[in-house]
Amino acid sequence: MKRKIPLIGAIFLCLACLTFGSALTLIWIDSQTKVPQAPQIETVSSGNYETSDEQAEVPEENPSLDISALQANEVYISEKRSQYKNDLTLKIPKLDVNASILDGTELSVLRKGLGLYEYAQLPSEENANVSIAGHRNGVFAGKITDNTPLYYINTLTEGDYLYLTDSQNVYQYLWQSTSVIEPNDWSVIYNQGYGCITITTCTPIGIADHRLVVRGELVNTFPLSENIVLPANTSE
């Protein structure tokens, strides 16, 4: 009997070691499998694509501005702009863009498409800066897509035309510049002292920490007709 007691103790000691070792192994495996989840991009449905859910900022209104004495580098809400009824369409033949311009740049608006800044003017107004915002890319199944109006906007170059149409007229703009600015730089939507279109969107694609700005200068206005052909470039 004296020889059996140490043997039983040894057996219990071995079993305890095996149990403790198994527990440590499970803890180590569990720690390797519980990798922190990467932040998920919240997306919203927008027609046949999704866009990154990002709130568009707006500049503060200048309450002391005398609208009748409007100068360049100022913002204001014109009477025509305040009565806007979603009747503008952006056409860029080079990019096959034909997109309605909605009222405002709130998140709910940009979920649906392009939006007209509150501080924009309408193309029928003298020296209007028609400033437009929109998402750069779509997102489908967690992947970036190019099925949005502004995805290839950076490819516009010298000689390319952009157009705005309303119920009566076509406003023809000639590409003037493409630039990258900080997201809080509102100078691009100020009145520029001449007729122009200003399109703002996010850049770089997938990061969106800056804004891409494309501007065109108004060069012609003519009546809208049913079978009108809009050239993509000055070479046409």
- What domains sit in the chain, N to C, each tagged with a CATH number? 43-53+82-223 (2.40.260.10)
Instruction: Give backbone dihedrals phi and psi of 32, rounded to 5 degrees, phi first.
Output: -80, -30
Distance from C-alpha of 172 to C-alpha of 182, rounded to nearest angstrom? 28
- pLDDT given for residue 77 in this prediction: 83
Q: What distance in Å separates the CA atoms of residue 203 and residue 183, rounded to the nearest whole number?
A: 10
Q: Establish how many alpha carbons lie within 13 A of residue 219's alpha carbon, considering only the half-sphere containing its beta carbon.
A: 15
Q: What pLDDT, on a 0 to 100 scale, did the predictor assign at position 229?
A: 93
Residue with the larger pLDDT of the pair 161 and 139: 161
pLDDT digits (tens, 9 = 90+) for 43-53: 333 334 455 54
What are the tens digits of pLDDT across the range 59-104? 443 333 333 344 456 677 888 999 999 999 999 999 999 999 999 9
